[in-house]
Amino acid sequence: MKVFVKPVLGVFIFVFLQLLTGWAIKLFFMPLTPKKLAASIIVSGLITILILYRMRMIRRWTVYPMDIKWRYTPSAFAAAIFGIFAGNVLSEYLNLPNPMKMEFFSMIRDSWGIFAIVVFGPIIEELVFREAFIGYTTRHSVPREAAVLLSALAFSLIHLNPAQMPFAFIMGVLLGLIYVKTKSVVITSIIHIANNSLAVWEMKKLGLKIDEFSYITILGGERNTLILILLSSALCFLFLRDFYRKYHYSRHKAKKRHHHHHHHHS
């Protein structure tokens, strides 16, 4: 259990710094505008990553795109599309309360707010929940499945919003499984950014009418909806399995760099 102390502490630091910077901005820079809220997300995110890097939980090369075997990634993206779709429809089906809706609407009125939600937030969350949590624990001999599930649970809980929790858990498992295979946050960040972009685009397009938008109505009832959730989940599973079969991790370029460096010193 000792191995989980650092990752749990990492998540705690992430949440604590977000609350602290938000509170500091409220205290000293009233009124709280979307720009200021975005600034607090960006500042707290950067400090979090710096701390986790100093704690040796984040490795630099997790963000290197050249270590990715891109030709095997389409099945990972396809799995993500079906998984995200199933998760979205399921979230609507569960119909949980959404107390943070208005906060999101105010954030997306500002370009900095959109940047924080769509680009910056996802990259920071991937570094915290995938690299620092799953990466660190699996490097310290925690089984991959346990690391992925616990990180997804933490990822779900920090959203503090019932409407987002089931979806965040599904997303956490999906991104965790992709991360475990690539040992990189590059693919998971792209998927996370795409997901948040879609959510913001929907909110901008539909505005407050977003509540009237319903998959269940479009799909013609709950039975069809459930069938579609199962079908999407099955496709997600098949594509993910295909990705797992084909993708083999190797840091060959980095190894070469290291070897080259080593050679000079010998």
The amino acid sitting at 156 is S
The pLDDT of residue 264 is 52
Distance in angstroms (rounded) separating the CA atoms of residues 129 and 126: 5
Contact 147, 131 (CB under 8 A): no
Distance in angstroms (rounded) separating the CA atoms of residues 133 and 152: 10
Contact 52, 127 (CB under 8 A): yes
Structural domain count, the chain: 1
The pLDDT of residue 243 is 97
The pLDDT of residue 30 is 77
Q: What is the DSSP string of the chain?
A: -GGGHHHHHHHHHHHHHHHHHHHHHHHHS-S--HHHHHHHHHHHHHHHHHHHHHTT-S-GGGG-GGGS-GGG-HHHHHHHHHHHHHHHHHHHHHT---TTHHHHHHHTTSHHHHHIIIIIHHHHHIIIIIIIIIIHHHHTT--HHHHHHHHHHHHHHTT--TTTHHHHHHHHHHHHHHHHHH-SSHHHHHHHHHHHHHHHHHHHHHGGGGGT--HHHHTTSHHHHHHHHHHHHHHHHHHHHHHHHH-----HHHHHHHHHHHHHH-
The pLDDT of residue 255 is 53
The pLDDT of residue 266 is 44
Helix-helix angle 144-157:5-28, to 10 degrees: 20
Distance in angstroms (rounded) separating the CA atoms of residues 184 and 130: 8
The pLDDT of residue 222 is 83
3-state secondary structure 127-164: HHHHHHHHHHHHHCCCCHHHHHHHHHHHHHHCCCCCCC
Distance in angstroms (rounded) separating the CA atoms of residues 226 and 233: 11
| Closest C-alpha to 178, from 77, 41, 63, 70 | 77
User: CA separation (Å) from 67 to 14, 112, 134, 157, 248?
Assistant: 27, 30, 18, 31, 11
**Could you give the angle at the alpha carbon of 127 between the alpha carbons of 140 and 255, nearest 5°?**
65
Q: Which domain holds residue 40?
A: 2-265
Under-70 pLDDT residues of the chain: 208, 252-266
